[in-house]
Amino acid sequence: MTSKKKKHLYVHYFWTMNTLNCNGVLIDLSVPLVMGILNVTPDSFYDGGKHNSLVASFAKAEQMIVDGATIIDVGGMSSRPGAEIIDVAEEIDRVIPVIKRIKKEYPDQIISIDTVHGAVAEASLSEGASMINDISAGSIDPSIMEVAMKSQVPYILMHMQGKPSDMQKDPTYNNVVMDILSYMKTKVFELRNLGLNDIIIDPGFGFGKTITQNYSLLDKLSVFKILECPVMIGISRKSMIYKPLDISAADALNGTTAAHMIGLRNGAKLLRVHDVKEAVQAINIHNLIERQ
């Protein structure tokens, strides 16, 4: 085999690893992309209530699309520390009208459903969502795994110690990076054996981690490449940003951008963010470095 042919196979291998199939629409993650957060809840930690109507939520979605979001992540349940799991019917009532409106105006827009419930995921997929973002990794409602496998849409596998209601009560690890890597390795193996193809890894920043543990994960993020799955980070305006800086979430954009760049340099392929335009700019700067 010639060296030229070897190079071709090498590039093809990693191109395959970085491609997600969203109901027939391929997303190429060889270059990092942005997922915009659309919380249609009254109680999310940063923007709770701001988009808690169809008009407001669609306007926010439209602005994120204009600003460059490849994916819109629609969520109807807050997962902030201390939050309780809400009723399935209530969650469906919140998210379905928004998904339907976005798909009506932007038929080609990729929509992710941020939920822990299989029934919510299934209802959302039937209305045009084509990705599942599950903070519980199937621990709250195992049926969500069946929905993901049946639909064969990309599934975001996130690590969380405990549940939102208790996850920040003394989170403890032997080694936070290696413990989560081991957890992810086991879960990815299980999901692959069950036939799920497109898996995205999310270490779960702020979900059962101290500030120090969050920064250990961010610093060592590149170790998750061993799992051969794209890595997503969700650190936008979180307490790991604003508490050490002694500011509020409202003032945490600059710190978020700095942390995003660290994540990008360590291998993140998806940024889940509140501020799409600024995240796209950070990726553009990162790409300039990568081309050197």
**Distance (Å) of CA 123 to CA 96, 130, 174:** 8, 11, 39
| Marked catalytic residue, from 60, 94, 237, 238 | 238
Is 132 strand, coil or helix?
Answer: strand
| Residue 265 appears among annotated catalytic residues | no
Q: Which of 36, 55, 38 is nearest to 47 (CA)?
A: 38
**Distance (Å) of CA 167 to CA 27, 45, 84, 213, 231:** 32, 15, 11, 13, 22
| Marked catalytic residue, from 94, 209, 269, 272 | 272
CA angle, 194 as apex, 188 and 200 as ends, to 5°? 35
Q: Which of 246, 139, 175, 160 is nearest to 205 (CA)?
A: 160
Q: Which of 28, 271, 273, 22 is nearest to 128 (CA)?
A: 22
Cα separation of 143 and 120, whole Å?
10
Strand ranges for 159-262 from DSSP E: 199-202, 232-233
**Distance (Å) of CA 139 to CA 34, 67, 81, 183, 265:** 26, 34, 17, 13, 31
Task: Please enumerate in sequence order all residues whose Cβ is within 8 A of that of 215, keeping only pairs 6 or more positions apart, or say none.
Answer: 240
| Residue 291 appears among annotated catalytic residues | no
Single-letter amino acid, residue 110: I
Active site residues: 238, 272
